[in-house]
Amino acid sequence: MGYLAQDHREGIANGTNVADWLHSFDHTAGTRTSGLLGKMLFKGDEGKKTTDALSGRRSVRLFSRMLMLTRQRAGFDEPTPLDLE
């Protein structure tokens, strides 16, 4: 089960970039990581930003994508609109 706490920033490690943090939850994503970020409206070099430089809105998008990745890995195969490729 995934949970997005109102104070979700504690769940996002500082000192890493957005793409690396997301990739740490799904090692099978490989080159898909930039595509996954694009689906959450991270464009261009925004995947190279450090996680501690994210706005509140972008941190919610990143945390939401992480929840979707961990849900898929756990075997839940019910797609959401953001899962569509």
The span from the CA of 33 to the CA of 28, in Å, is 9
Q: Dihedral angle at the C-alpha atoms of 77, 81, 32, 30, nearest 10 degrees?
A: -30
**Confidence (pTM):** 0.70
pLDDT at 85: 45
Identity (one letter) of the amino acid at 34?
S
pLDDT for residue 78 is more than 60: no
pLDDT at 75: 52
Q: In this predicted model, what pLDDT tens digit does every residue of 13-72 receive, in sequence order?
A: 888 888 888 888 776 655 677 777 888 888 888 888 899 898 888 888 888 888 888 776
pLDDT at 41: 85
pLDDT for residue 83 is more than 60: no
